[in-house]
Structure 1
Amino acid sequence: MRRPPTVTALAGRVAETARSIEVLWRAGLVPFPRLDEGIRSLLLTRRHGPLAGAVRIAARRDPSATGIVDERGPLTFAQLDRQSNALARAWSARGIGSGTPIAVLCRDHRGLVLTMLAAGKLGAPLLLLNTGFAKPQLADVAARETVQVLVYDDEFTGLLSGIEGADRYLAWTEGDLAAHETPLLDELIASSDDRPPKPPERPGGLILLTSGTTGTPKGAPRPKISPLHSAQFLDRIPLRVGEATYMGAPLFHGTGISQFILSLALGCTVVLRRRFDAEATLRGIEQHRCSALVLVPTMLQRIIDLGPGVIGRYDVSSLRVVFAAGSALSPDVGNRASRIFGDVVHNLYGSTEVAVATVATPEDWRTAPGTVGRPPVGCRVALYDERGAEVTAPHVTARVFVGSGLAFDGYTDGRHKEIIDGLLSSGDVGHFDEHGLLFIDGRDDEMIVSGGENVYPVEVENLLVEREDVVEAAVVGVDDEEFGQRLKAFVVPVEGASLDADEVREHVRRNLARYKVPRDVEFLDALPRNATGKVLRNELG
């Protein structure tokens, strides 16, 4: 039987709510003294979900303000609202409505955005497919999630033959429009009434997918829609109303979609590009005077690797936030970015399942490069050992568990993550330092035992990438007759570097314990990564 909350717990919730409201007010999201507008915003979000609700709110606030910019040009918030109305009505006439599972396989452009908005207005659950998935993964996920509607870009047509029984719609094509038999979103929108459709009984919600690096991706529904949850980002990331955000991270990923929704809720212009290009990103920041750049760490590294000669061509002084998430941000990359852009780097730690866990502010990063920071308002992080006992001592590595109002309620196949004291396992291991800052030491399943010692590869990886002659590195465990397991390093050297395996091993030997020295070293032109920058370790061995 569930026990009623204690007085202390209730007081804690009230204090947390009050602090969340203060954070939202500071960012400009609580319209004091127009409390009627605040209530209207809450109702719109509850009816249509966070994304469609955010656009409706922004369209009321300033219909002529630019909502998004993609390679076809700008769309105002009013245009986004009306065009998504038209798409929702066109789909409704075709029998698509509340509860109809819609899947979208698109790069970042208006077609994807309008699909998300129309799905919200219909109350249809929307499945965001990863553009980096292979044909078998897409087919397996579509079958498991009983997809009935499929929206996609023309370039992915060849990957969809395994998906059967779904109505198909084309969101983007660079070919001859007349050559396509599949209905085009633009045609549906142009031929339909753009008045607001009848609100659904309940929002359909979003379904995000895990990375699928260890098999078929799992579905993680995101039904949470309370505007107070925005405070989990805004508490430690100073985004503000009416600015501009450059979206480098893909919208199908938790990092991209969360910051996209938040930016639209703030009435910010969001600049989208179908494919990431490092120099084009700098050009876009300058052109649109973006105050925030959202990306995954590999994208940030590609920008930095352009060098001062190229970076110096662009005025990026408008940047107040460089928001990195989705994979580990190495101390080397974070430090180099800070030297180039100033104290603007914010390092978020979370996952598809737990959403937000911690955020490192620029001040945190200066104190301890490599940290993922502290939990924002509404989040709690604790460490537990293998027996389930909480670990509070600094510099002791243990399993990371997270409590967040945005955490999921279980996978779509009925499975769940381990829960201790109401906190959800992140699947990672980490430690706190003496200042209470969190560090992630690696995935729980990446730890190896070498000669009786626990070894986490990320420590060796960070050491290697600090070298000026190394672009990137990945370290994995391999079998060893003497020690049980040893490390193997995969190193991408700088072009023209004369680095050899013995030098790599000696560098590790000089800086870390003997059992952390890689037994083998292999040089690659590039590490295998998925669309969000995570290293595909199952392809290394």
Structure 2
Amino acid sequence: MPGVADLATKVADTVRSVEVMWRAGLVPFPRLDEGLRSIAAVRRFGPFAGAAQIASRRDSTAVGLIDELGPLTFKQLDARSNALARAFAQRGIGQGSMVAALCRDHRGLVTAMMATGKLGARLLLMNTGFSAPQLADVAAREKVTALLYDEEFTGLLSAVDGSVERYLAWVDSSGEHDVPVLDELIASTDDRPVPVPDRPGGFVLLTSGTTGTPKGAPRPEVSALASAQFLDRVPLRVGESTYMAAPLFHGTGLSQFILSFALGSTVVTRRRFDPEATLAGIAEHRCTALVVVPTMLQRIIDLGPEVLARYDTSSLRIVFAAGSALSPDLGNRTTEAFGEVLHNLYGSTECAVATVATPRDWREAPGTVGKPPVGCRVELYDDAGNRITEPEVTGRVFVGSGLSFTGYTDGRNKEMINGLLSTGDVGHFDAEGRLFIDGRDDEMIVSGGENVFPIEVENLLVEHPEVLEAAVLGVPDEEFGQRLKAFVVLAEGSTLDADAVRAHVKANLARYKVPREVVFLDELPRNATGKVLRRELS
């Protein structure tokens, strides 16, 4: 019976998840009472505040966060968030309120993340790359009642409806302001524990918005077992140190921030990403994990061997990359620079985790996104909805995950087949069951009757030593229907011309994959998380 089989799978996944969490140190056997307290804390106050309380109970002196102002222990973060929660409550924020945060990565944002959970309010994490119209559209659609923002974003707020109450999350000590500042609210309010809300508020992530206005993807609850989906194939452990380069408003940064807090690990962050400062931070704080999106990793590796050698990064056991495609060339250069530490995660805002490539996966099959961890299913389907089981056959990617969302905040959802969610990508499995992403379903180019996915051509182009970045798209063509157009960013001092670029592709790929037009740019247009804004290329 299918029902029995499904139940057996769930039981097996649960047992395996507990085993994974025990291996990471999250299940304190034989002190299972501590494990139960941990689960209860997360259920009461959500993943941010609950995890900090757990870590504080484990070690009251443990440092939870290091930002540009210095360290804060988990205990200090817990007390600060108590005070901020009380200050918010006095101003009408409570169960069901929607609080938006337009902030860089710093203690103000982290404290607010914890405080909203303690109130049962929902937290909407805004993209720091928003324009004023995008900010206004999202705030109106999500019915934002309070907005936290860094002072640098003040100029965007004129577009936001005046009924939204505003709080500065960061301000220079000498600055003048006419709205409450978070540190002032915290300092002037009692930091005793707050009453437990009826339910934790959860949070809302936003999609990247590369094809239009970002959509809201709510996460009302996070299962205590969900961490196993990361820990199964990424060997994070209790009490270590993570350098968080990826922004916290992005699913990559947020998921790893939550996990690091749950592990009682120190999170090191700074307001703006700087590649050399990242290396310095890893060396200073002996970080064992680095969390990045691929464009950040590219900027670090492009510093070159001489700069990389200035910093002792031997403590790194994990380079965790996610958020957009990681080219084989960049992955291989990362391995050359840091050793076999690269973990390449494939997922989306909607499904969270799909697969993870371990260093061994990458060594054996560069470019792979790996295999599904515990609790995840990945299947491929053709356009008629038939499942593809043969290796090397391309199909549409569908994912089932305990972290998958249940629909956008506007009521829409992604396509589903057999309970699995479409990622919008197409890919194939190799004979070993490792997944490869061939491209976006809506980016496939049909030129002269042949199907071309841009990512294959892009990956080849960036393998050229004189090419830093490349994007390929299809443009209308009277003879072939579509033709390929390549946008290329060259390394400093390069003498490559369009003919040389085309010759490089022709020497390695089929003739119909050669771009008929090549445009050279100083840089590719990207959003705040590094995804290429293809709509701005023409």
Band of TM-score, shorter chain: over 0.9
Shift of residue 356, structure 1, vs aligned partner: 0.2
Code of the aligned partner of 2:432: H
Q: Is the 8 A contact 2:171 2:181 kept in 1?
A: no
Code of the aligned partner of 2:398: F
Q: Does 2:297 correspond to 1:306? A: no
Partner residue of 2:210 out of 210, 213, 216: 213
CA deviation string 1:201-223 (max 9, x = no partner): 01111100011111111000012
Q: Secondary structure at the match of 1:22?
A: helix
**Structure-2 residue corresponding to 1:257:** 254
Code of the aligned partner of 1:99: G
Q: Does 2:165 correspond to 1:167? A: yes
Q: Is the 8 A contact 2:244 2:253 kept in 1?
A: yes
| Structure-2 separation of matches of 1:175 and 1:446 | 48
Q: Does 2:266 correspond to 1:269? A: yes
Partner residue of 1:427 out of 410, 413, 424: 424
Partner residue of 1:475 out of 459, 472, 475: 472
Q: How does 1:346-385 map to 2 (within 5 A)?
A: 346-385=343-382
**Structure-2 residue corresponding to 1:124:** 121
Partner residue of 1:487 out of 484, 489, 503: 484
Partner residue of 1:293 out of 290, 298, 322: 290
Partner residue of 1:226 out of 223, 226, 235: 223
Shift of residue 95, structure 1, vs aligned partner: 1.4
Q: How does 1:59-74 map to 2 (within 5 A)?
A: 59-74=56-71
Q: How does 1:65-144 map to 2 (within 5 A)?
A: 65-144=62-141
Partner residue of 2:54 out of 53, 57, 62: 57
Shift of residue 393, structure 1, vs aligned partner: 1.4
| Structure-1 separation of matches of 2:147 and 2:254 | 19
**Structure-2 residue corresponding to 1:413:** 410
Shift of residue 161, structure 1, vs aligned partner: 1.0
**Structure-2 residue corresponding to 1:247:** 244
Aligned residue pairs, count: 537
Code of the aligned partner of 1:173: V
Code of the aligned partner of 1:532: T
| Structure-1 separation of matches of 2:399 and 2:222 | 19
Code of the aligned partner of 1:319: L
Q: Does 2:276 correspond to 1:279? A: yes
Q: Is the 8 A contact 1:107 1:250 kept in 2?
A: yes
Code of the aligned partner of 1:242: G
Partner residue of 1:462 out of 459, 464, 488: 459
Distance change >3 Å, CA 5–CA 97, structure 1 → 2: farther
Q: Secondary structure at the match of 2:158?
A: coil
**Structure-2 residue corresponding to 1:176:** 174
Shift of residue 176, structure 1, vs aligned partner: 2.8
**Structure-1 residue corresponding to 2:148:** 151
Q: Is the 8 A contact 1:491 1:521 kept in 2?
A: yes
**Structure-2 residue corresponding to 1:201:** 198
Pairwise CA RMSD: 0.9
Q: Is the 8 A contact 1:224 1:406 kept in 2?
A: no
Q: Does 2:29 correspond to 1:32? A: yes
Q: Is the 8 A contact 2:427 2:436 kept in 1?
A: yes
Code of the aligned partner of 1:118: A
CA deviation string 1:52-109 (max 9, x = no partner): 1101111111111100000011000000000000000111111110101000000000
Q: How does 1:314-325 map to 2 (within 5 A)?
A: 314-325=311-322
CA deviation string 1:308-341 (max 9, x = no partner): 1111011000000000000100000000000110
Q: Does 2:515 correspond to 1:518? A: yes
Moved over 6 A (4+): none
| Structure-2 separation of matches of 1:239 and 1:27 | 6
Q: Secondary structure at the match of 1:280?
A: helix
**Structure-1 residue corresponding to 2:532:** 535
Q: Secondary structure at the match of 1:161?
A: helix
Q: What percent identity do the matched residue pairs reach?
A: 73
| Structure-2 separation of matches of 1:224 and 1:392 | 33
Shift of residue 436, structure 1, vs aligned partner: 1.0
Code of the aligned partner of 1:127: L
Shift of residue 5, structure 1, vs aligned partner: 6.1
Shift of residue 175, structure 1, vs aligned partner: 6.2
| Structure-1 separation of matches of 2:88 and 2:301 | 44
Partner residue of 2:439 out of 429, 438, 442: 442
Shift of residue 197, structure 1, vs aligned partner: 0.5
Q: Is the 8 A contact 2:525 2:536 kept in 1?
A: yes
Q: Is the 8 A contact 2:393 2:429 kept in 1?
A: yes
CA deviation string 1:345-404 (max 9, x = no partner): 000000000100000000000011000000000000000111111111111111100000
CA deviation string 1:415-455 (max 9, x = no partner): 00000011000011111111111011111110011111111
Gapped runs of 5+ residues in structure 2? Answer: none
Q: Is the 8 A contact 1:254 1:355 kept in 2?
A: yes
Code of the aligned partner of 1:461: E
| Structure-2 separation of matches of 1:198 and 1:121 | 8
Q: Secondary structure at the match of 1:136?
A: helix
| Structure-2 separation of matches of 1:539 and 1:508 | 24
Q: Is the 8 A contact 1:448 1:455 kept in 2?
A: yes
CA deviation string 1:147-185 (max 9, x = no partner): 0000000000111111111110001123633x2001000
| Structure-1 separation of matches of 2:142 and 2:446 | 38
Gapped runs of 5+ residues in structure 1? Answer: none
**Structure-1 residue corresponding to 2:342:** 345
**Structure-2 residue corresponding to 1:502:** 499
| Structure-2 separation of matches of 1:299 and 1:30 | 33
| Structure-1 separation of matches of 2:131 and 2:173 | 23
| Structure-2 separation of matches of 1:45 and 1:440 | 35
Q: Is the 8 A contact 1:44 1:53 kept in 2?
A: yes
Q: How does 1:34-49 map to 2 (within 5 A)?
A: 34-49=31-46
Partner residue of 1:402 out of 399, 403, 417: 399
CA deviation string 1:488-541 (max 9, x = no partner): 000101111100001111111111111111010000111111111100000111
Q: Is the 8 A contact 1:210 1:220 kept in 2?
A: yes
CA deviation string 1:119-151 (max 9, x = no partner): 000000100000011111110000000100000
Q: Secondary structure at the match of 1:29?
A: coil
| Structure-2 separation of matches of 1:219 and 1:119 | 18
TM-score (norm. length: structure 2): 0.99
| Structure-1 separation of matches of 2:392 and 2:18 | 34
Q: Is the 8 A contact 1:67 1:74 kept in 2?
A: yes
